[in-house]
Chain A
Amino acid sequence: MSAVRLYVWQRLTALLMVPLIIVHLIIIIYATNRGLSAADILGRTQGSIAWGLYYTLFVAAAAIHGAIGVRGVAREWLGWRETALDRLMWIFGVILLVLGLRAVFAVVVP
C-alpha cells in the first residue's frame, strides 16, 4: 500500500479519534466519580444504538490507526518487505477489530 495512502488514513483516523477519546475519558471519570456499578453501566449501554455506533466507530478507527502504526514500526525496525508488512498490517488490524467489536457487542447487545 502506498506511503501517502497509509499517511492519510492514519491522520484521518487520528483526527476522528480525538473527540472520541475525549468523550471516552469523560465517561470514565463520570462513571468512577459517580461510583456506577457494572450493572448501572450495562443498564445504560444495553440496547443503546447510539453507544453501539459510537464505540463501533471508535474501534474501527483505532484498528486502522494502530495497524498502520505497527506496520511503520515493523518497517523501520525489522526491515520487512512491503508485501509482508501489508500482511502484518491486515492481520493486526483484523485482530484489533474483532477484539474491539466483541467488547462493544458485550456491553451493547442485551
Chain B
Amino acid sequence: MSTTAEATIDVRVWRGGEKGEYQSFAVPRRDSQTVLDVVTWIQRHADPTLAYRFACRVGVCGSCAMTVNGRPRWTCRTHVSKVIEDGRVEIGPLANLPVIRDLAADLTPFFEKWQKAEGTFVPSRTRHEPLETISPESPERQAANAAIECINCGVCYAACDTVRWSPEYFGPAALNRSWSLVNDVRDAGNLKRLAAAASNGGCHNCHSHQSCEQLCPQGLNPTASIAGLKRRTMQAYIRGEIS
C-alpha cells in the first residue's frame, strides 16, 4: 500500500488512570505500521509523558497488549491497516484490569489468578533422579502441546465477558495453563489443581463465548482447555477425589 507523506491517522489515546479521557493525536501514516509504532511515535514526537508497556516488539514477550478500537490486541503484531476504521484508531489500556496510567494496565490480578488456579508445575521427581523421557508423538504430550504456547499477554482475560461480570473468575489464561499442566505426565499436582478448577472461581464459570479463542494472538483455544477441565473435574468428582 502506498501512502503520501501528508497522510495521517486520527489516533485517540486514553490518558489518566481509572478516570481519564481520550486525547487525540495526528500520527503520520506509514507502510506496514503497527499499533505499537503509533504509540511509540506519540511518545517520542508528541507527548513524552505517555505511559505504555512493551519489551520485545516481535510478539514473543506478551507485554504490549492494549485495547484497539474496542478489542484487545497485541499491538506489536497488529498492523494499523487491519484495525483502522474510517481513518481512526482508538487505543486504551487492557479491559478487566486496574489502570496504572494511560495505556499501562496493572496485571497483578491476572497473575494472582494463575496462582489461585495452581498454574505452577509440581515436579514428580527430584533432581537426583534421571530426566523423564517424553516422546513428542505421545498423546499426552500432544494434549499438553495444544495449550502450551501462551505468552501471558492478557488479551483473552480482557476479551472475556465472564471475567468482566465475575471478579473471582480465574479467566481463560490461568485455566488454559492449568489444562496444559493437567496433561503434563511429569506433574504431580493435579488433585490440588482440579480442586482449584472446580472451585467458585474455576472452570464452571465459563459460558463458552469463545472471545478468548477468537482474539488469542497465539491461536490457542482456551475455551477448549476449559471444556477439558470441566470433563476432568467431573471425573474426579464422580470418583470422589474432589468434592
Contact = CB atoms under 8 A, between A and B. Distances in A.
A95 B41 CA distance: 63
B223 interface: no
A5 B166 contact: no
A75 B205 CA distance: 10
B1 interface: no
Nearest to B233: A4
A4 B166 contact: no
B199 interface: yes
A34 B174 CA distance: 57
Contacts of A76: 165-166
Chain B, interface SS category: helix
A4 B200 CA distance: 9
Contacts of B205: 3
B237 A5 contact: yes
A4 B233 CA distance: 7
B234 interface: yes
Interface in A1-38: 2-8, 11
A3 B166 contact: no
Interface in B200-242: 200, 202, 204-205, 230, 233-234, 236-238, 242
Interface string A54-93: 0000000000000000000001100000100000000000
B43 interface: no
Contacts of B237: 4-5, 8
Contact of B200 (A3, A8, A11): A3
A82 B201 CA distance: 12
A6 B237 CA distance: 11
A6 B233 CA distance: 12
Contact of B230 (A2, A5, A7, A75): A7
B160 to A, nearest CB: 13
Nearest first, the 4 A-B pairs at minimum CB distance are A4-B198, A3-B204, A4-B237, A7-B204
